[in-house]
Structure 1
């Protein structure tokens, strides 16, 4: 049992969630670096009959939408955003496109669709699109982000992670990592990449595929349901997959060589007031949000029988949930982070500092 809880003043981009009584359309974001096999995977997925009710939004950077020509299925429901990257220059066009798709579905101008797939360019930063589903009222009220799926090339992926920050961010934001071209990679290369991806993003599931072959059942089965649709907290958080941060030493959890992206978990038995939590979130999201690639967690709040569930991507906090009871025997705060150069010791110290705040003023 859960209900939405508003924490006012936590950051600049709180949209307010879904309209009451309106079922939001689930959206899957398909991202991955240049040449990683996104279009091949999308084309194969859409060849399955169970994807016939899927609307497709394709972002092609350039004047000729070649990717659109390669997507052979669901053409009636395909929309192409051209001459810009979906995460920046055409971000407003994406908002217009999503709302227009709903209007055309309602009028019968488009066949009925029950979900949406959005393919980005290889250079897109998925964080801004994830934020759009939370922070843009026109989108947040009618759509929910089901999952971020990131393709990683088994042949070139390791080098791309070393050389390009975008590749690392795409991995960090993923709910599901799909390793492509494992059939043509050198022996052991794909396995080494899977190990590295698991260190970069311990909370994501990893699948290795060949020639883009992945069924919708396998794809969606590898992604846990969101909490708002009844997903289990443990499967969503995956706290056990994250190594505890060594806050006393120089290290800050697990990292992959060649970049500053680190994944770690923090745990504390201390509780925090609702006001202190609001202030802490406001502080880290506004001051260090750019380095906070992703945060998930259960927080022990004074006076509540269950935890507050948090999920943030950079500067944007998803609407927090209040659980009626703790899903685990130990009622302790557990937070998992994927950061870019953000030290674990500082995060834990800041949280505990707000736990000690004078709470005499109460909540705003």
Structure 2
């Protein structure tokens, strides 16, 4: 007897705390030769989006949501986006979208519960889309701290169908064993895999039909209730730094060093694209707490806005200090 296949469009939800490697995983998915046509929804915590600019050019439909967190203030926006995607796939001939799969990358502060609820509680959406799996990326280097100091990281692990324990090369084996035991204590249901640079066999995360509603209800029996909302801690917020003048790389380095000495513990995640003097390439800057990297990206396009932007997400940060110090990184007028 053949089992009838579910005709609905599968949705993969990628979650994980700030800096775990979600965008790296998304880029891995978009660059791979898997034969899928994917529509991507990217949600960022902050008014200015950086992730969308760091996603590889793939020809896929990329939709950015950066006016709030997908699990609370902009859930209605997610509903509108899904309905628009349906319309453009099946009804709108002028701007059609060809896709057979959806990937949603949530902000690092998102609770997956309300996101999942959106796909189950809205009749039109649940009729056309099904959740394939909730993939939670865990930063092996900083997971213990995040699990100790915030509830979001615990919720992301608890709601996972698949856990990618990422950055395993940065942690000693004994610490990995201890962390893995802690993750399994939170969620023994999920498949757990070790990864570096978020590299994983995509057959293990796409088309796996791993979503288990019964398990989600055990984690949070109320998560399907319409008025069950998620709230972030008030002391966690984002800072946006911008500078239209070219930057002096030595001054940027001094700024970063002072920043990490004074504020690294409370700086959860930071990403930026910088216009640095004496190079025609974008300089990408990103990190988590004390661990950061700086690298050159593609060349700036002709006529492209070269404003340098950094988005910082953290706790109890001195916004005035960050803005003043970043402004000091600009090249002096006389030497520009």
The reply to whether TM is greater than 0.5 is: yes
Aligned position for 2:163? 177
Contact 1:38 1:151 in 2 (8 A): yes
Asked whether the equivalents of residues 45 and 51 of structure 1 are also in contact (C-alpha less than 8 Å), the reply is no
For 1:134, which of 113, 120, 123 is the aligned residue?
A: 120
Equivalent of 1:212 in 177, 198, 211: 198
Q: How does 1:114-263 map to 2 (within 5 A)?
A: 114-220=100-206, 223-225=208-210
Describe the shift of the 1:97–1:62 C-alpha distance in structure 2 as closer, same or farther (beyond 3 A). Answer: same
1:95 to 79, 84, 104: 79
Give the C-alpha shift of residue 52 in structure 1.
Answer: 4.2
The reply on whether 1:26 has 2:18 as its aligned counterpart is no
Counterpart among 12, 22, 25 of residue 41 in structure 1: 25
CA displacement at 1:75 relative to structure 2: 4.5
In structure 2, list runs of 5 or more residues that go unmatched: 226-336
Structure 2: how far apart are the matches of 1:147 and 1:226?
5
Task: Provide closer, same or farther for how the CA distance between residues 217 and 122 of structure 1 changes in structure 2, counting only shifts above 3 A.
Answer: same
Q: After alignment, is 33-42 or 69-78 more displaced? A: 69-78
Q: Is the contact between residue 16 and residue 137 of structure 2 (CA under 8 Å) also seen in structure 1?
A: yes
Q: Is the 8 A contact 2:133 2:205 kept in 1?
A: no
Instruction: Give the C-alpha shift of residue 22 in structure 1.
Output: 8.8
1: CA distance, partners of 2:97 / 2:223: 36
Give the secondary-structure state (helix, strand or coil) at the position aligned to 2:218.
strand
Q: 1:167 to 1:225 in 2, by over 3 A?
A: closer
Aligned counterpart, 1:50? 34
User: Of residues 14, 38, 62 in structure 2, which corresponds to 1:78?
Assistant: 62
How far the C-alpha of 1:211 sits from its partner, in A, is 1.0
Equivalent position to 2:218, from 285, 295, 315: 295
Residues 155, 189 of structure 1: 8 Å contact kept: no
> How do 1:10-25 residues align onto structure 2 when only pairs under 5 Å count?
23-25=7-9
Give how far 1:196 is off. 1.3
- Equivalent position of 1:105 in the other structure: 89
1:300-340 deviation digits (Å, cap 9, x = unpaired): xxxxxxxxxxxx753428xxxxxxxxxxxxxxxxxxxxxxx
Query: CA offsets, 1:156-198, max 9 Å, x none?
Result: 0011111111111111100000111001123322222112111
CA distance in 1, matches of 2:10, 2:27: 19
Once the two structures are superposed, residues 117-176 of structure 1 have per-residue CA deviations (whole angstroms, 9 ceiling, x without a partner) of 001001111100111111112311211111111011100001111111111111110000
Cα separation, partners in 2 of 1:51 and 1:216, compared to 1, 3 Å: farther
Q: Residues 49 and 73 (structure 1 numbering): CA distance in 2 closer, same or farther, change over 3 Å?
A: farther
Q: What is the CA distance between 1:102 and its match in structure 2?
A: 1.7
What is the TM-score normalised by the length of structure 1?
Answer: 0.56
Distance 2:216 2:180 in 1: 20
